Amino acid sequence: MYDVIVVGAGIAGMTSALYAARLELKTLILSRDIGGQLMMAPEIQNYPGFISIRGSDLALRVMKQVEGMGVEIRIEEVVNVKEEKGFIVYTAEGSQYETLALIFAFGKTPIELNVPGEKRLKGKGVSYCAICDAPLYKDKIVALVGLGEVGLHAASVLSEVVRKCYWIFPGPTPGAISPNVVKYVKEKGNVVLMPRTQVVEIKGDGKVSSILVKSLESGEVREIEVAGVFVEMGYKPKTDFLRGFVDLNEKGEIIVNSLCETSRKGVFAAGDVTNIPYKQAVISAGQGAIAALSAYNYVAQIKGYSRIDRDWKHLRVRHEEEGGGLFLRI
């Protein structure tokens, strides 16, 4: 039985785990990957302590810090949770884990196209991150399904690398985006704009070889040969499996209070997956810390430890009584 299981190894989850481990809670992180959205941020200029840092570098630094604290990290996707003498967490890989407290920090997940072939060819030509995967498609032909600023950013990244990029979008324009950059992408010469079109199927035997594209004006469907499909339609919290377990808002975000408590006792949440209004790395990290401190207090209550107050006084009392050295590390 773990004291706390953190779901998600983005900046929120890793910060939670760091705090939990420093408070000597037996901590496990379950995550689909390490770093989350930070891995897609080319440059971060607003994270304290760094004038400029690549998102992936920041994520790896935090991961090393977390591992150094002895936190166990398993790459598994959480698909269900149940309350039963604590909580049981189920993963897509078929494992189940028991814990006293839970911290949900699983951020936002790329919006999918939901067309035949997409799931099967994920990672085999279907990508949700142009900045991460564009170099794999040097001099190749790719398709991009993208809207707004996110789509535009992907188009400009791809146009630097690929031979040709078909940019597919359902409306007359790819969304409310700055005209100068649209002009730049057009001028690159290798981006073909395909307004009022929609990808209806991704084909390939083992890896992507073509797409079926439908014209929303004529209904005509045609096949285009591509080596990759980039889906850049933004992100949303993927919280369906928590419906009825904790309260969600209309966007599917987990509702938390200022202590990062959810509507269920013993369950906390932090970062982009919550209803906090500003989705930023430093805010996710801060919420991760709050969630861990709140989880500590919850576990402390169950185990009969003193709780932490705002000045950390009770923690000092607890560890002086137990002869522990934790106070010295705070």
Ligand X SMILES: Cc1cc2nc3c(=O)[nH]c(=O)nc-3n(C[C@H](O)[C@H](O)[C@H](O)COP(=O)(O)OP(=O)(O)OC[C@H]3O[C@@H](n4cnc5c(N)ncnc54)[C@H](O)[C@@H]3O)c2cc1C
- The residue ranges that bind ligand X (CB under 6 A) are 7-13, 30-33, 36-38, 40-41, 44, 46, 77-78, 105-109, 238, 271-272, 279-282, 284
Beta-bridge partners for 165? 142, 191
Q: Which residue number has the CB closest to ligand X?
A: 107
* Least CB distance to ligand X at residue 53 (A): 9
- For residues 289 and 304, is the Cβ–Cβ distance under 8 A? no
Give the HSE-up count for residue 36: Cα atoms under 13 Å, Cβ half-sphere.
29
Q: C-beta of 216: minimal distance to ligand X in Å?
A: 28
- Least CB distance from residue 47 to ligand X, whole Å? 6
Query: Closest CB to ligand X among 176 and 328?
Result: 176
Q: Taking the complex as a whole, how short is the minimal distance between the CB of residue 248 and ligand X, in angstroms?
A: 14
Q: Give least dist CB 303 to ligand X, A.
A: 26
**Contact present, 273 and 280 (Cβ < 8 Å):** no
How far are the Cα atoms of 30, 64, 76, 268 from residue 7, in angstroms, in the given order?
A: 5, 18, 9, 10
Nearest CB to ligand X, comparing residues 11 and 185: 11
Neighbouring CB atoms inside 10 A of 247's CB total 15
Residue nearer to ligand X on the CB measure, 93 or 320: 93
Looking at the Cβ atoms of 78 and 290, the one nearer to ligand X is 78
Residue with smaller CB distance to ligand X, 122 or 238: 238
Q: Smallest distance, Å, CB 283 to ligand X?
A: 7
Please say which residue, 98 or 309, places its beta carbon nearer to ligand X: 98
Q: Provide the sign of the torsion angle of the four alpha carbons 304, 308, 309, 315, taken in this order.
A: positive
Q: How far is CA 295 from the centre of its chain?
A: 21
Q: Residue 191 CB, nearest distance to ligand X (Å)?
A: 19
> Do the beta carbons of residue 69 and residue 267 sit within 8 Å?
no
What's the maximum distance between 2 C-alpha atoms anywhere in the chain? 77
Nearer to ligand X among residue 40 and residue 158 (C-beta):
40
Of 32 and 61, nearer to ligand X (C-beta) is 32
**Inter-axis angle of helices 11-22 and 281-303, to 10 degrees?**
40
Question: Do you know the residue count of the chain?
Answer: 330
For residue 178, give the 3-state DSSP assignment.
coil
- CA 202 remoteness from chain centre: 24
DSSP letters spanning 162-173: -SEEEEE-SSSS
Whole-angstrom distance, CA of residue 257 vs CA of residue 129: 32
In the complex, least distance from residue 315 CB atom to ligand X, rounded to whole angstroms: 26
